[in-house]
Amino acid sequence: MIKFTKMEGLGNDYVYVDCTEKSNEEIDYISKCAYKISNRHFGVGSDGLILICKSDVADFKMQMYNKDGSQAQMCGNGIRCVGKYVYDKGLTNKKSITVETLAGIKKLDFDIKDNKVESVTVNMEKPILKADLIPCVADTIVKNDVNEISHVRLHVLDRNFDFTCVSMGNPHAIAVVDDVDNFDVEKYGKIIECDEHFSQKTNVEFIEILNKSTIKMRVWERGAGETLACGTGASASVVACILNELVNGNKEIKVKLLGGDLLIKWDKDVYMTGPAKIVFEGEYYD
């Protein structure tokens, strides 16, 4: 039996398990249940499984698995929920914490109301822009005094795409489309995710520029399919838009997702602010 909490950040939903007092053997067993727990017909139903563990280098460690059972480096919406979980459940009384992830140690700041976390700001750290570190095989690389922009140009089925590639600890390929609401994300996303340009596969973001301070985004997540929101994807998309001078680089940018809005600011590091909610709790029997 596994006690769990179902949480969501803008509809990006995960099953959370407190593993801070569990043995390595118990943690290993629970991680192997990710595929079954995430199944929306025979399990709890989620975009994946997140284990909250002890850390030797941070306040907590986030161990994350996609709904196909594969391990993921980082999830912006997921880590906000980790912050709410540990504060609301009394595992910490700090209003700022650090969380160890496979994409490095992330700093979280809480907005507290009525002794509960209402929103979380995550320091997503600096974006990774070098093609071999993203990783991707770039068709063109545009360099300036500060950054380099890696482009992957693909012909997929019946249309051409120009992707700007960015890593936020996990790889993202971002392309601008005219009408994202009516765009067939699954049709193209599942092919692009596995394209040979991306040795570790990639998350795929399709964005529409609404104005200089607002973009609309839909995402095909690596190992998960289309989800209602993606925090690292929103962060990577804003970075790509700033690099390509599509939005105002010195302001906070609103990213409109299917599950709601995130606020992203790139000032050396990337900062992401958004909500996190507890949906329900229960016990899973394998």
CB atoms within 10 A of CB 146: 7
Task: Identify whether 194 is a catalytic site residue.
Answer: no
Of 3, 76, 35, 42, the residue nearest 235 (C-alpha): 76
Cα dihedral 12, 13, 17, 19 in deg (nearest 10): -10
Annotated active-site residue in 19, 75, 165, 241? 75
Task: Identify whether 230 is a catalytic site residue.
Answer: yes
CA distances from 5 to 173, 234, 236, 237 (A): 31, 25, 28, 30
Calculate ∠ Cα 240-136-163, nearest 5°.
40
Exposed, middle or buried, 132 (CB in 10 Å: 0-12/13-18/19+)? exposed
CB 155 within 8 A of CB 192: no
What is the rounded CA–CA span in Å between residue 133 and residue 116? 38
Q: Which backbone phi and psi does 216 adopt, to 5 degrees?
A: -115, 140
The residues annotated with a catalytic role in the active site are 75, 230
